[in-house]
Amino acid sequence: MTLAFDREGPAGRPVVMLHGIGGGRAIWRGTLAALAAAGFDAIAVDLPGYGDSASLTPGGVDAMAAAVVALMDHLALPQAAVVGHSMGGMVAQALAASAPQRLHSLVLACTSPAFGKPDGDWQARFVAERLAPLDAGLGMPELAARLVPPMVGPKADPDGVALARSVMGAVPEATYRRVLAAIVAFDGRAALPAIAVPTLCLAGELDRTAPPEVMRRMADRIAGARYASIAGAGHIANVEQPAAFHAELIRFLQETTP
C-alpha cells in the first residue's frame, strides 16, 4: 500500500517521520517546516488506518514497518533518516530490524522497546485507562481531552497541546483499538544491539509513558547511540517544546546525514 504523507524541503536528504498511537502526519507540522528550513527533505507519514491511509489486516507493528518500506519504494528512497515518536518509535525499531539497509540514521523519541510483561500491572493499567472511556461510549475527542493534558509538561506550548488534542480526536476508534493491541504486544528489546546506524534516543524529562530512565537504558543497548532529554517536556515533546526538540533533532541529523 502507499501511505498518505506530507512532504516539504529540497530533495537529497530525506527524513521520514512516524507518529504515535494518538497521532497522524499533522502532528509533525512544525517539525516538517523546521526540517525543510534546515535543508532536509521532510516526509510526515500517516501510518495505516490514520488520516488518509488505508488500514492493514493484520495491522501489527511489523506490518506498519513494511508499509513504510513500501512508501519509500514508491518515493524511490533507497535510504532515509527515520524519526519515530512513541508508537512510531516502535515501528522505526521494527524497520531497523527488518530492513536495516533502508536506514542511514534513526531517531527514537519518547518511546520504548517494549511495554514489559504482557500480564503486568503497568500494562493492564495502560490499556484500561485508554479503553475505559471508549467502552463507556465516549468518542475519540473526549478520550483526547482526558489523555492529552496529563501527558504534557506544565509549560507545554498551548498551541501544541491543542494540536495534539485535535489530532488524537480525529483518530478512528477502530484504528486506535487495533493499534493499542499491537503496541502492547511489541517487544523489540532483543533487537536493540543489532541496530548499527547512528541513533539518537530523545526523551521528555517529565514523560511518564516512556520515562527518561527507560530511554537511557535503551540507548545503552544500541552501540554508539546518543541520549538526550528535552527539559520540561512530557510525552509529546515535539509539540510541547518544539524549539528544543527541533534543535536536538536537527543537530543530530546534520552530523549524521550524508
Give the residues across from 15 on adjacent strands: 42, 81
pLDDT in tens, 28-80: 999 999 999 999 999 999 999 999 999 987 779 999 999 999 999 999 999 99
Gap between the Cα atoms of 153 and 54, Å rounded? 33
User: What is the model's pLDDT at position 166?
Assistant: 98
CA 211 to chain centre: 15
Count of domains for the chain: 1
pLDDT in tens, 82-110: 999 999 999 999 999 999 999 999 999 99
Q: Which of 118-122, 188-192, 244-248 has the lowest mean pLDDT?
A: 118-122
Give the residues across from 158 on adjacent strands: none
Gap between the Cα atoms of 1 and 12, Å rounded? 24
CATH number, domain containing residue 207: 3.40.50.1820
Identify the residue whose cell numbers are 523519541: 109
Alpha-carbon distance values, 244 to 60, 129, 217, 251 (Å): 32, 30, 22, 11
Domain with 245, as residue range(s), is 5-256
- What pTM was computed for the model? 0.95
Gap between the Cα atoms of 179 and 22, Å rounded? 10
pLDDT in tens, 119-129: 677 778 888 88
User: What is the model's pLDDT at position 130?
Assistant: 86
